[in-house]
Amino acid sequence: MTYRLDTVRRMWQLLEPVHATLYYAPEACERAAALGYATDERWPSYVA
């Protein structure tokens, strides 16, 4: 499947602020810890 680069770039521009807000929210870290994921680093909870 081929994507047009301008479409992909626009999607990133639209969705990145939402992603950053959720990813760095303290509630996200707390929820990941409650599920048993290591939260001393961000990466393990990133794929949760």
Backbone angles phi, psi at 10, to 5 degrees: -65, -40
Please, what's the largest Cα pairwise distance for the chain?
40
Structure token pair of residue 17: 């602020």
User: Cβ distance 23 to 43 under 8 Å?
Assistant: no
User: Cβ distance 44 to 38 under 8 Å?
Assistant: yes
Cα–Cα dist 12/18, whole Å? 10
pTM of the shown model: 0.53
For residue 16, the surrounding DSSP H or E stretch is helix 5-23
- pLDDT by residue for the chain (48 residues), tens only, comes to 667 889 989 999 999 998 888 888 888 888 888 988 888 876 655 665
